[in-house]
Structure 1
Amino acid sequence: MKLVLIAIGLTLSCIWAEEKYTDKYDSLNIDEVIANKRLLNAYNKCVLDQGKCTSEGRELKSHIAEGLKTGCAKCTDAQHKGMRKVIKHLMTHDKNVWRQMVEKYDPKRVYSTKYEKELKSLY
């Protein structure tokens, strides 16, 4: 009986570990969004609850807190790369928005400090 329970537990943990966020929006061109101030501003306002959200914005916003806590464990490769680009862009070119996002999603700066250090060392 114990062996059956262990096998079920291992199977469920493998299934859970492989769960990823939807890749539905992975083809979104992050460089294009960053280059378009109006579009980037709309996404920022969505994520900060200061404006309307597109379906992409709602999807993004629904995973930010969990993504920060888990190191984006459920992110696809494209989402990891996009997250890094956007965070680096905000840290470098739009510090006010970055500060607002940190205040909203990581007020104790538990996770954002780690990502800031990591990204600064890469560029």
Structure 2
Amino acid sequence: MVYKTHFLLVLLGLALAEAFPGEKNKYDNIDIDAICKNKRLLLGYVNCMLDKGPCTAEGRALKENIPNSLENKCSDCEEADKERVKKGATCVRCSYPEEWEAIVEHFDPEKKYREIGREFFGEKSC
């Protein structure tokens, strides 16, 4: 379970950080704290990731970039983006563990990217 948690943190972090490489300010205005405090908004992003609901432009970019981000271990990501995404992913993992589990299984059914999660996040808990 811990490794699935780490995997999804990496998954979300890498995808968001790489969704628009070179566009440093693209996600600077996203208020992760506000999203985490707003259940409707947060679950909207979760449903987007799981193909269960509509996506915002940011959600769509995030979802579309997950496979590439996992493959290249976020080689083009900015540190600020990585930190923002770690914060957001931790929010989902800790507040909505069942949804987190569903996202992990959705994007890594073969469990081949779990090690990336351990490398990226270490052994963090809620």
Same structural fold, with TM-score higher than 0.5 when normalized by the shorter chain: yes
| TM-score, normalization by structure 2 | 0.69
Cα distance in 2, alignment partners of residues 22 and 100 from structure 1: 30
| TM-score, normalization by structure 1 | 0.70
Matched AA of 1:95: P
User: CA-to-partner distance for each residue in 1:50-98, whole Å, 9 max, x for gaps?
Assistant: 1011111111111112222322222222321122122222222211111
4+ residue runs over 4 A deviation: none
The answer on 1:30 being equivalent to 2:32 is: yes
Native 8 Å contact 1:88 1:119 kept in 2? no
Please name the residue that 1:106 is paired with: 108
1:22 CA drift (Å): 3.6
1:27 CA drift (Å): 2.0
The answer on 1:72 being equivalent to 2:67 is: no
Matched AA of 1:49: D
CA RMSD of aligned residues (A): 2.3
Among candidates 89, 92, 97, match of residue 90 of structure 1:
92
Tell me which of the two structures has the higher relative contact order, counting C-alpha pairs closer than 8 angstroms and 6 or more residues apart.
2
Among candidates 33, 36, 51, match of residue 53 of structure 2:
51
1:21 CA drift (Å): 5.7
Matched AA of 2:76: K
1:49 CA drift (Å): 0.8
Among candidates 44, 50, 62, match of residue 42 of structure 1:
44
Native 8 Å contact 1:45 1:51 kept in 2? yes
Q: How many residues are treated as equivalent by the alignment?
A: 105
1:120 CA drift (Å): 5.2
Distance 1:84 1:36, change over 3 A: same
SS at match of 1:27: coil
Give structure 2 stretches of 5+ with no counterpart. Answer: 1-19
Distance 1:80 1:20, change over 3 A: same
More divergent stretch after superposition (91-100 vs 31-40): 91-100
Give structure 1 stretches of 5+ with no counterpart. Answer: 1-18
Please name the residue that 1:9 is paired with: none
Q: Which has the higher helix share?
A: 1
Please name the residue that 1:10 is paired with: none
Native 8 Å contact 1:102 1:112 kept in 2? no
Cα distance in 2, alignment partners of residues 44 and 21 from structure 1: 25
